[in-house]
Each structure stands twice: as C-alpha cells, then as structure tokens.
Amino acid sequence: MANLHALTALGAREAAVITVGPLTITERFDVALASVAARRGRMADLAKAAKAAGLPLPDPARWQGGTPYSAFWTVPEMWLVEAPFASHELIEGMLKAALDDAASVTEQTDAWVALDLAAPDLAPLLERLCNVDFRAVADGYATRTMIEHLGCYLIKHGAGAVRLYGPRSSAKSLVHAIELAAHSAW
C-alpha cells in the first residue's frame, strides 16, 4: 500500500504558523470534530448520555472545555464537539457508541480549518473582520459569524486568544483576510 501522508487545510505537510506584527495565526491540525444533534424529543436522553460520557453540552452561544471532549453550541439542541485528534481520530464512532440513538452524530474533522489567533489584544483585528462585539462578550463565548463572506465559528478563550473554524476549502482565503486585517489593525 502507498505510504500516504495527510496534508493540512493550508496544503502543507506541517501545520502553518504565521506571524503578522503582534498577531500569531496557528493552524491546528490536531483537533477532531463532530457535530451532535439531539433527535426530536430526545433531549433529556441525550443530556443523560452526554453526562455519563463526559461530554459538555453548554448553553446557547457558549463553549465549555473538558477532557477529552470540549463542545460549543451551534444550533438549538446541536453542538460541535472538539477532541484531540491523536486519541479521537474516530470521534464519530466514539460519540455514537456513547450517545446511541438519542443523537445524530456527524464527523466534521475535515470540513473545517482550525486557526488559533493570539495577540495581546485581538479586538482591533476582529472588529475589522466580523460583527462580533468582541470586547463586550465574555470568555467562553462561541458564535457563528461571517468573515470575508465565509461562515465561520469564533470561540473567545480570552482577550488575546481566539479559536476560529472556517470552511476548509476556503482556508487560504480566510488566512489571507486575517493577514490583511492584521496589517490594517497594527
């Protein structure tokens, strides 16, 4: 069998680290993703199974961390779940086994590019990129928003720490938009 090597969303063998002034963009290639949606009328069953499996199901517009599963709210009764890729490459099957038929689980790992943004203060950058009121929202805020016409998820981990999930097929366009805004902000 051929010796295959997966490429990152930005098309390289190793995850990219890009620096623009005080901003560091780190491509994350070590995150497994799956969406979990309660089946109709089964929210109570899902909450019970999720608790037993150590899967957080945070309130609307919130992210909640955990080991191994972290999750953020996306849609009423639906969450996107993050886990370490090394241990949870088969995240869809693992969640399905834990949640049984209370939820529909969909593998999402290769649908998204994950970018960590780090700077002393990300507000000047994000106010140029999207209409999230970044200064006002609390840590742990998670939302879908538009960046350069791309539907992205933004999770605020701190004033200087943000995780972005953007459409993987537009990864380079998203990074380009962030770089341009960074040149403008700083």
Partner 1 sequence: MIIHHPILGPRDAQEFVYLGDESLIDRPDGMSAGIEEFHDYAYNRTNPAGEHRELWYHEQGDRSWLVVTRNTVTHEITKVELARDVARAKGRTK
Q: Is 93 in the site for partner 1 (CB under 8 A)?
A: no
How far is Cα 172 from Cα 177, in angstroms, rounded to an integer?
9
Q: Is 61 in the site for partner 1 (CB under 8 A)?
A: yes
- Tell the smallest beta-carbon distance from residue 74 to partner 1 (Å): 7
Question: Which of 8, 26, 106, 145 touches partner 1 by CB under 8 A?
Answer: 145
Among the residue ranges 100-108, 143-151, 155-163, 177-185, the one whose residues contact partner 1 (CB under 8 A)? 143-151
CA triple 76-89-9, angle to 5 deg: 80
Instruction: Rounding to the nearest 10 degrees, give the CA dihedral for residues 110, 112, 113, 115.
Output: -130
Q: By C-beta, is 54 or 60 nearer to partner 1? A: 60
Non-local (6+) Cβ contacts of 124 within 8 A are: 185, 186
- Tell the smallest beta-carbon distance from residue 162 to partner 1 (Å): 18
Is the torsion defined by CA of 174, 176, 180, 186 positive or negative?
A: positive
Respond yes or no on whether the N-terminal peptide bond of residue 68 is cis (omega within 30° of 0). yes
Amino acid of residue 68: P
Q: Is 76 in the site for partner 1 (CB under 8 A)?
A: yes
Among the residue ranges 14-22, 47-55, 140-148, 173-181, the one whose residues contact partner 1 (CB under 8 A)? 140-148
Q: What track of x and - describes contact with partner 1 for positions 23 through 42 (by CB under 8 A)? A: -----------------x--
